Structure 1
Amino acid sequence: MLEEYLTTNVFAFFLVFTRLGTAFMVVPGFGEGFVSSRVRMGIALSVSFLVMQFVADRLPPEPTTIGALFLLLGGEIVIGLIMGGALRLAVSSLHVGGTIIAQQSGLAAAQFFDPAQMTQGAVTSSFLTIMGMTMIFVTDLHHLFLQGTYASYTLFPVGQLPPFGDIAFLVSDFVAGSFLLGFQISAPFLVYGLTFYIGVGLINRLMPQVQVFFVAMPLQLAAAFAVLGLTVGGSIMWFLAYYEEVLIRFLGA
């Protein structure tokens, strides 16, 4: 009896860990490249052990064939990737907004390593992304994700095919919402850039002998930093509200 009990609980634990471990590999904050793999593994194992206590009665029995086992684990991996990927799409809105800001402020050539995208990016997009992920933990929004790991077993029961039609609709909605939020964050810079370039163009037409590029570049950078200082607080608040909306709509947190 003890051997059967231990075997069942080990299977249930690793079944839960398959979903949550995959989600922790992708989710913003926990799944970043600069986070130690041992730390990420420890958090995923701890959360899986806690969640397993509450969802053990919802888990199917251990499959009798290898094919059924791989099919069950593959479904859990897909659900974990979808859980983390939806939140990763929300963070990409800051990357989109920062890239547009860099183009409008003359900082497009200033490249910096973006830890969220794991590649080189505009310095403003890296700044907004790092600030956004920091505020996720400062405002305890990561607690909603931890709560959503348990709620996901109500939305996506183990052993059943997830509603791919509804998931595809939600993901496309999140992609559109991320781009919309990115443009909203960069909207003041679009207005500023249009006004500034119109003024520079008029000066160039009125006084062609003036080296407009060398005169306008310092003013453009100074004005861009001033606008960024005035709008960055509201931009991060918009992002946090959108991130919370994604958590509630997709994970039921």
Structure 2
Amino acid sequence: MLETPLLAAFLAFCRIGGCFMVMPGLASARVPLQVRLFAAVAASLALLVHLWDLIAPHVSTKPGPLLILIASELAIGALIGLVARLYLLALQFIGSAMSMMTGFGMNGGATIEENEQQPALGAIISFSALMLLFVLDFHHEIIRALVASYRLAPIESLFDPRSALTDITDTLSDSFFVMIRLGSPFIAYAILVNLAIGFVNKLTPQIPVYFISLPFVITGGLILLYFAIGSLLGLFADAFFPLFSGT
């Protein structure tokens, strides 16, 4: 019968497609919907050969149990992709904060990953980090996590909201500490430079020092970024894989 293989392939597509739907890079607004669909279908068919024994025995032809399995597989796949996306969103947040600290946060510009406007400096950092992750084959890590998820979260055990909430909370917590480390030089720079400008403005109230200091603040921020961008992206990539592997 073709019913069981088709349902097994569709259940595999639900988990893998749910992950591809929200994972960074592939779920970008700049990637056509057809490309995402075909990538998910191709990955599902390729992995189904290796996951057949873990999926096929639990396929149900009854509408009620089948709908529950479909919803569970979509939720599990979306959770795996969301873990990676939350980490990149944390970088976008600290990138926007760094833009404001260095004087670049006034005007938003077009972004590559999202539809929302983002400061130019934050967009450069976010896109560079995403490109670095693809160079380091982070998409292979996600596919590895999808394969491992069938043993950690078997198809018959269904979606566990408590475990999912724990994973999301741990991801947000770890991402926060990593991003604080990455943005700490710019936070210290913003505090020191604004404090110095404030003192100078108090000493010479006749001159609007604070309003003419923006070019100097931007120049100092660019110099700091020039020396820090390599270490920043390296620390970002080094912290991604242990964080994602832990899920």
Which TM bucket (shorter chain)?
Answer: over 0.9
Match of 2:26 in 1: 30
Match of 2:43 in 1: 47
Match of 2:231 in 1: 234
Alpha-carbon spacing, 1:165–1:62, altered in 2? closer, same or farther (3 Å): closer
Shift of 1:124: 2.1
Gaps of 5+ in 1: none
Alpha-carbon spacing, 1:199–1:61, altered in 2? closer, same or farther (3 Å): closer
Q: How does 1:56-71 map onto structure 2 within 5 Å?
A: 56-59=52-55, 60-71=57-68
User: Normalising by structure 1, what TM-score?
Assistant: 0.92
Match of 1:17 in 2: 13
| Matching of residue 98 in structure 1 with residue 95 in structure 2 | yes
Match of 2:84 in 1: 87
Match of 1:75 in 2: 72
CA separation in 1, counterparts of 2:175 and 2:113? Answer: 15
Q: Secondary structure at the match of 1:234?
A: helix
Q: Secondary structure at the match of 2:118?
A: strand
| Matching of residue 245 in structure 1 with residue 237 in structure 2 | no
Q: Encode CA deviations 1:67-107: one digit per residue, 9 max, x unaligned.
A: 11111100001101101111101111211211221221111
Gaps of 5+ in 2: none
Confirm or deny: 8 A CA contact 1:95 1:182 kept in the other structure: no
Q: Secondary structure at the match of 2:104?
A: coil
Q: Aligned Cα RMSD in Å?
A: 1.5
Question: Structure 1 residues 221-230 or 161-170, which shifts more?
Answer: 161-170
User: Normalising by structure 2, what TM-score?
Assistant: 0.94
Alpha-carbon spacing, 1:62–1:198, altered in 2? closer, same or farther (3 Å): closer
> Percent identity at matched positions?
25
Q: Encode CA deviations 1:182-231: one digit per residue, 9 max, x unaligned.
A: 22211111111111111111111111111213431111010000101111
Runs ≥4 residues deviating over 6 A:
none
CA separation in 1, counterparts of 2:130 and 2:102? Answer: 23
CA separation in 2, counterparts of 1:167 and 1:65? Answer: 27
Match of 1:187 in 2: 184
Q: Encode CA deviations 1:110-162: one digit per residue, 9 max, x unaligned.
A: 21233434311222221111111100111122211122221111111112134
Q: Secondary structure at the match of 1:159?
A: helix
Match of 2:193 in 1: 196
Match of 2:4 in 1: 8
CA separation in 2, counterparts of 1:168 and 1:23? Answer: 16
Report how many residues are paired: 246
